[in-house]
Structure 1
Amino acid sequence: MDFTKGFAVKNSFYTSFDTECIGRGQSKNDKGRTPFEQDRDRIIYSPAFRRLQNKTQVFLSGEFDFYRTRLTHSMEVSQIGRSIVNHLNRTSTALSDDHHIDQDLVESICLAHDIGHPSFGHAGEQVLNTMMQESGGFEGNAQNLRILVDLFYRDKTCWSGMKPTRAFLDGMLKYKTLFSESEKKKHHFIYDFQSDILEFVSPDQLFTSLFDTEKERNSFKSLECRIMDWADDIAYSIHDIDDGIRAGFISMKNIRNWMDEHNDDLSKDQHGFLDDLCLAIADDSFSSFLARLIGTFIHGTTLVERETPLSESTNRYNYDIHISEDCLELCTLLKRLAISLVFHTPQVHQLEFKGGRILKGLFEVMEQEYLNGRANYNLLPAHYHNAMNNGDVHHRRRLLCDYLSGMTDGFVVRTYKRMFDPDFGSIIDLI
């Protein structure tokens, strides 16, 4: 049975162009599941996905059981993404039962959208990027692609990808600028060696010639990527506020003070919303108050047609989403509130600083041991230690970065204490 053809008949929105796979790894055979279902299932059962349960979202993972981690955040994004797809499939006249946006595809993209992000949130990402400047930088979204295409499976000291479909991989491409082309080289890029991914997702389309600016190139996204991006914005704008209230960072007093400071920047409707939020905090109904916003944002999303250089190749570039101005303004307001009252507090900044120092300390020690001469100590697990014998210094630095970025918050701290704290560690510790 030709599974790709069978799939195309069931849902004409996608063709064999969308379901073609890239890279080495386990093949996708006819197992009674679509290629997009197999992409989703592989993500769910992967170690990289499970490790998100102990990686920071806002507050350090494990600090309290009810705070969100990267894992719970990813699950919430996937639920919102599915709901957006269902809403668009039901309400758009351009879609039908046999011509619709695939829910499994969007779910897999949403589940995997943070799979490459390191410990300690953006602080960890910034530290690794600084340490990797001479070897191509580090970026969480670029690392997503590296895991999917290069590191998903391991056999001794050899890694291979999960052979993602073109539609899935393209949906993960939030940014399409190479590190060497990036002006600031701080974020919003992919690695130079991932140029083959750009060629795969859009054959014969040279992004450097299609777009005049880096911003235009990074804004050229597939329909499913746009849905994931919006679902991510919905999830963290609402849930960062929810976690901030529960942690005591966001209170009626703090909101009122913030409103006074930004009075000239807030519209009448924004004042009204913040007043309602204060009332919801006062009578302890903020959880349901914020939860209702998810439905508002989902129903503020509509499907629109567009023309792009890839329109003739795939429906994924024939359509885009439009988000109502009211929803965009409210989402932006929630982000501003969370940044001011949660992320820019001494408590959060001190923990981010500490996490960054820990990651930097581990990187410097292992770089000295493995990159500046022959290793005298087996500081890395055997498969990484043995792999360090191959390749030039940039390849080995990339392997070291792969290892450190994959570590959970708790694993990073335990490793740091085992190496630097005289009173911590045992020869029977799990490595």
Structure 2
Amino acid sequence: MAAPYACDATQTRGRLVAEQESSFRSPFQRDRDRIIHASAFRRLKHKTQVFVENEGDYFRTRLTHSIEVAQVARTISGALGLNGELTEAVALAHDLGHTPFGHTGEEALDVLMSPYGGFDHNVQALKIVTSLERHYAEWDGLNLTWETLEGIAKHNGPVLDPPFALTDYNRVHDLELTTHASAEAQVAALSDDVAYNNHDLHDGLRAELFTDDEICELPIVGEAYKEVDRLYPNIDAYRRRHEALRRVFGVMVSDVIDTSRAMLANTEAQYSDDIRALGYQVVRFSDPLWSDLKQIRAFLFARMYRAPSVVQMRKDVTQVVNDLFPLFLNDPAHLPSEWRADVAAAADQTALARIVADYIAGMTDRFALDTHKRLVTG
């Protein structure tokens, strides 16, 4: 049964461009489906999560990560009585704005864009779904509902100092940036943490950056391995690892559900807007679990995100972005023909820089590498 503070698709605040709704799909389901069919969503298949896409077939990409986040989000949302379709839509869209090479590419592009307002992948995700996807006859973007757009913009909390791209859109479609988002969007944000805390351990083990014995020293993880060893003393190493990490997953999901259920009950909220007006997040980890997760994150930072091979990869791909940005900025003729109309309409250097950033941000890892080889290194 739906909780009273769940977002009700029949009471949506609607879309920027009014359209006839489906007779057999809810507005939030249509949002989810449009996101899945978007070009930007397909490109996530070849975008870095931690390891560059060509480093191995088994590592997570932004696409598989987004699917895992959506699965976790749907589970938590259902347990809390929230709207699963809205939760899933926000979860699937949350990384649409990522550049090639993941956070490394984003950091490089943000530095290059600093004279022009900077770059942020969350803002870019909103720009993609409101402008850059150009497939529909009557509008640019995907014409998503207000609730889904709000979730994309604010799933990490209120945006108190929004960059230009966000304020520009907010002038025509007020997303109430200074308030918290719906409980559904908050679930999507926490599900992101659940997913990467688990799968980065798995990918780091597969990459042999650390061992099972080493992560057994971590909170939550060590207890999970002990339980598996007790239940299955003769299990092979790969199954042992999988059984342990799925238990780590379960601990995080259960903690979010239990903690958030208690938080929500204490609010006495009766409408989705009551959640937005609270002034604090209601979907969260418990304090003890959050403390444990900080230890896991510190381990991953030292042993995975700053591993020598990963650091070298970061240096190499940063150079790719650093080379491509000025090349396109100084000679926009290198941009594809379908981008030329935007270039011709650019009012100044800042507008041109944003077009170049949009183009580079949309690249996949391998397309960026191939373009760099073709235009820069020969």
TM-score by length of 2: 0.84
**In structure 2, what is the equivalent of residue 235 of structure 1?**
195
User: How big is the shift at 1:154?
Assistant: 4.5
Does 2:305 match 1:343? yes
**In structure 2, what is the equivalent of residue 146 of structure 1?**
127
Q: What is the distance in 2 between the residues matched to 1:34 and 1:60?
A: 37
Does 2:275 match 1:321? no
CA contact (8 A) 2:49 2:62 kept: yes
CA contact (8 A) 1:19 1:35 kept: no
For each residue in 1:134-161, what CA deviation from the matched residue of structure 2 results, as whole angstroms up to 9, or x when unmatched?
22210001101111111122479x9712
CA contact (8 A) 2:127 2:165 kept: no
3-state SS in 2 of match to 1:321: coil
CA contact (8 A) 2:50 2:102 kept: yes
2:318 equivalent among 343, 356, 363: 356
**In structure 2, what is the equivalent of residue 177 of structure 1?**
160
User: For residues 47-126 of structure 1, what are the structure 2 equivalents within 5 Å?
Assistant: 47-89=39-81, 101-126=82-107
**In structure 2, what is the equivalent of residue 21 of structure 1?**
15
Does 2:250 match 1:250? no
CA contact (8 A) 2:323 2:376 kept: no
Q: What is the distance in 2 between the residues matched to 1:416 and 1:381?
A: 15
Q: What is the distance in 1 between the residues matched to 2:335 and 2:303?
A: 39
Are residues 272 and 411 of structure 1, via their aligned partners in 2, closer, same or farther at CA, if it must alter by over 3 Å?
closer
Q: What is the distance in 1 between the residues matched to 2:329 and 2:376?
A: 16
Does 2:145 match 1:201? no
Identity of aligned residues (%): 29
3-state SS in 1 of match to 2:283: strand
- Aligned pairs, how many? 359
Does 2:371 match 1:412? no
Are residues 385 and 159 of structure 1, via their aligned partners in 2, closer, same or farther at CA, if it must alter by over 3 Å?
farther
Structure 2 unaligned segments of length 5 or more: list them: none
Q: What is the distance in 1 between the residues matched to 2:374 and 2:221?
A: 51
Q: What is the distance in 2 between the residues matched to 1:28 and 1:291?
A: 43
User: How big is the shift at 1:119?
Assistant: 0.7
Q: What is the distance in 1 between the residues matched to 2:326 and 2:363?
A: 16
Q: What is the distance in 2 between the residues matched to 1:12 and 1:87?
A: 12
Q: What is the distance in 2 between the residues matched to 1:21 and 1:414?
A: 38
Q: What is the distance in 1 between the residues matched to 2:119 and 2:211?
A: 36
Q: What is the distance in 2 between the residues matched to 1:333 and 1:235?
A: 16
Does 2:24 match 1:32? yes
Q: What is the distance in 1 between the residues matched to 2:236 and 2:294?
A: 23
Does 2:143 match 1:163? yes
User: How big is the shift at 1:168?
Assistant: 0.9
User: How big is the shift at 1:15?
Assistant: 6.4
User: How big is the shift at 1:356?
Assistant: 1.1
For each residue in 1:350-388, what CA deviation from the matched residue of structure 2 results, as whole angstroms up to 9, or x when unmatched?
111111110110101111113xxxxxxx31111112320
Q: What is the distance in 1 between the residues matched to 2:85 and 2:9?
A: 15
Structure label with greater radius of gyration: 1
Root-mean-square deviation (CA), in Å? 3.3
User: How big is the shift at 1:329?
Assistant: 3.0
User: Which protein has the bigger helix share?
Assistant: 2
User: How big is the shift at 1:50?
Assistant: 0.3
User: How big is the shift at 1:169?
Assistant: 1.3
AA of the residue aligned to 1:167? E
Are residues 19 and 271 of structure 1, via their aligned partners in 2, closer, same or farther at CA, if it must alter by over 3 Å?
closer
Bigger RCO (CA 8 Å, 6+ sep): 2
Q: What is the distance in 1 between the residues matched to 2:192 and 2:73?
A: 8
Query: Bigger shift: 123-132 or 43-52?
Result: 123-132
Displaced runs of 4 or more, over 4 A: 10-13, 252-256, 269-272, 274-282, 310-313
**In structure 2, what is the equivalent of residue 291 of structure 1?**
246
**In structure 2, what is the equivalent of residue 186 of structure 1?**
none
Q: What is the distance in 1 between the residues matched to 2:20 and 2:125?
A: 20
